[in-house]
Structure 1
Amino acid sequence: MAVLTARRDASSSSSVRDLALTALTPLTWGSTYAVTTEFLPPGRPMFTAMTRALPAGLVLLAATRVLPRGAWWWRAAVLGVLNIGAFFPLLFLAAYRLPGGVAAVLGAVGPLFALAFAALLLAERPTARKLLAALTGLAGVGLVVLRADARMDVLGVLAGLAGAASMAAGTVLTKRWGRPEGVGPLGLTAWQLTAGGLLLVPVTLLVEGPPPALDGRAVGGYLYLGAVGTAAAYWVWFRGLSRLPATSVAFLPLLSPLSAAVIGWAALGQALTPLQLLGMALAFGGTLAGQWSGGRRREAVPAPPAPPAAPAVTARRSS
């Protein structure tokens, strides 16, 4: 019994460490807005998306020196499109056509999409607790970033919802397919970033034309986004996804708008109102509640040993 308890405690501690490490990814993503507005050239969302993905993917591909095999050629392409190639442009399109608050709220719908995809692809029934956690997180993000004068744009709203659905589908499919034998999270990250970045090359040239001229600040911003906000962040993300339930990981992006708000307050001098602080508490509470598995599974308790059987008695015949 003591051995079973020790194993359970060790497994729980490992899960908490994996969850805390994976949460660093959306916290890092929260810095994207400040870096984009303060360092990068304006009006180039496709170029920014491509520059984030492709160089990072090629560097990781050269470092791992592992290529997909068999079915993983098309699986890596599908995951690269969902998590990178489609998600990045849809995210930037929503951000450019909508106020940042509206775009962030649409992105916060991601956990609801993830619960639906997990039910279809992983046979994980969404519990009432998870649904309530997703709605609580969505409401909290809305209080943090939504403004009363926010304007709506149909194309922007559709892009925001499609981006959230794309990321949620990619998260669930990554969990469903896992990784091929002998390939670690770094290799899987390299495949997806490269596939998504290659998809973005013709789209970027078609929509925005040749690359813009870059100064030192822009180069530094792109290096940060590529190395920290993409290569390292997605490696940590896919590592966590391989060890944690998909629906639990899907709640962590709720931390991204909170990180952006804190960075805006600390680095850009943006004020935080009491209502925003309440929203941050709600969003953080929804994220924590989304990690609840719905009850502990009981450990099997070994049955007590059966008493030794009584020795057989052989009756003597009386002579």
Structure 2
Amino acid sequence: MKPADVCIAVMVAVIWGLAFVASRIALDELPPELMTALRFGIAAVPCLFLRKPKVSWPLLIAISLNLFLGQFLAQSIAIAHGMPVGLTSVIVQSQALFTIAFAAIIFGEWPSRMQMVGIGIAAIGLLMISGTVGHDFSAGAFAILMISPICFAVGNLLLRPAQGARMFDLFAWLCLCAAVPLFALSLVTLGVKPTWQALSQMSMAGIACMLFVGAVSTSIAYWQWGRLLRDHPAAQVVPFALLVPFVGSAASSIVFGERFGPLRLAGMAAVIGGIAIMLFSRSPQPQTKIA
């Protein structure tokens, strides 16, 4: 990779890590459904100037419902119900474990022995983290959050048939497909008047966070990440995603004073270590790109 692309990969990882903190601040002012809808509504603005990519509507909707709607709605609900932001940024990255597992089951792309070791270590880390349930977050919030990496993994696999589309166009339309049902969900669950009141009473900090999460983290960062995956082997690009939980955890510790006990810290380290082993190990068959 060129030095410029390395800088872009690091920048994207930092943006995604900081987005967890920005989302938490926005959730202090907006319900999870509305915050997630606004996120993708902002990111979908380019659709006004872009043609729909040459991807069928069923595939486009299926990708969006998993990669965007399911993943980020689960994150928002879990954070709103007490999941610590730093811990959330680690658990979401377990999508690598589920992506490899689903690819093996569906496509017969069986992982190598070292990747199996990585999967085992990451799974043990998740079990260790689950052992801290009840201290500062509930089992229900943890269960909801686990939907996020699973949807992320399914979205990764569904992206494969759409790899020929232009990345910026594709992600803009994926955001639109997520924003429409999310706004509808917000109107149904909250009502028209409360929805409007929540939007109209946002503070400048809340607006700034939403612009960062929607325009920068979702639109620009995903576009650049997709471009890097298009121009370089996934093995060179994907490991940069390991920076996300470190940035998210550090930022959460500084902004919210989040602290990690010995068991949780060991579990987080095991998850990240297991994912690193999976990503840096070679597979005997062509391996799935983890977006």
Displacement of 1:91 in angstroms is 1.7
In the alignment, the residues of structure 1 paired with residue 112 and residue 283 of structure 2 have an alpha-carbon distance, to the nearest angstrom, of 11
CA distance in 2, matches of 1:103, 1:268: 14
1:152 is matched with: 138
Between 1 and 2, higher relative CO (CA 8 Å, sep ≥ 6) is seen in 2
- 1:290 matches 2:275: no
Asked if 1:178 corresponds to 2:162, the answer is yes
State the TM-score, normalized to the length of structure 2. Answer: 0.76
Q: Following the alignment from structure 1 to structure 2, what is the Cα–Cα distance between the partners of residues 121 and 20?
A: 35
Counterpart check, 1:78 vs 2:59: no
Q: Which residue of 1 aligns with 2:180?
A: 198
- 1:129 equivalent to 2:117? Answer no
Matches within 5 A, 1:299-318: none
How far apart in 1 are the matches of 2:272 and 2:7?
13
Task: Give the direction of change, closer, same or farther, for the CA distance of 1:103–1:217 in structure 2 (3 Å limit).
Answer: closer
Are positions 1:68 and 2:68 aligned together?
Answer: no
CA distance in 1, matches of 2:262, 2:78: 27
Distance 2:187 2:44 in 1: 19
How many angstroms does 1:205 deviate by? 1.3
Shift of 1:266: 4.1
After the TM superposition, which of the residue ranges 231-240 and 278-287 deviates more from structure 2?
278-287
| Bigger mean CA deviation after superposition, 115-124 or 277-286 | 277-286
TM-score (norm 1): 0.70
Residue 46 in structure 1 maps to residue 33 in structure 2:
yes
Residue pairs, 1:1-319, within 5 angstroms: 13=1, 21-22=8-9, 24-38=11-25, 41-42=28-29, 44-59=31-46, 61-63=47-49, 65-69=50-54, 72-100=56-84, 103=88, 106-137=91-122, 147=132, 149-154=135-140, 156-174=141-159, 176-180=160-164, 183-209=165-191, 210-211=195-196, 212=198, 213-242=201-230, 243-245=232-234, 249=238, 255-268=243-256, 270=258, 282=270, 284-294=272-282
Structure 1, unaligned runs of 5 or more = 1-12, 298-319
Distance, in Å, in 1 between the alignment partners of 2:104 and 2:242 is 20
Q: Please, what is the CA RMSD of the aligned residues?
A: 3.7
- Per-residue CA deviation, residues 243-288 of structure 1 (Å, 9 max, x unaligned), is 4449x84x76554332211113444555677887766765554443
| Deviation for aligned residue 1:128 | 2.4
Q: 1:89 to 1:280 in 2, by over 3 A?
A: closer
Q: Give 1:80 deviation, angstroms.
A: 1.0
Structure 1 residues 237, 258: CA separation in 2 closer, same or farther (over 3 Å shift)? Answer: same
Once residues 190 and 50 of structure 1 are traced to their aligned partners in structure 2, the CA distance between those partners, rounded to angstroms, is 14
Letter in 2 for 1:292: F
226-235 vs 31-40, greater mean Cα deviation: 31-40
Structure 2: stretches of 5+ with no match in the other structure? 286-291
| Counterpart contact for 1:255–1:284, Cα < 8 Å | no
* 1:52-95 CA distance string (max 9 Å, x none): 11221222x234x22134x5222111111111122221222222
CA drift of 1:225 comes to 0.9
Q: Distance in 2 between matches of 1:207 and 1:116?
A: 35
Change (3 A) 1:244 1:206: farther
For structure 1, which segment, 233-242 or 75-84, has the greater mean C-alpha deviation from structure 2 after superposition? 233-242
Q: Read off the aligned partner of 1:97 and give its amino acid letter.
A: H
Contact 2:19 2:212 in 1 (8 A): no
- Deviation, 1:37, is 3.7
Q: Where is the helix percentage greater, Structure 1 or Structure 2? A: 2
User: Matched residues in 2 for 1:29 and 1:142: separation?
Assistant: 25
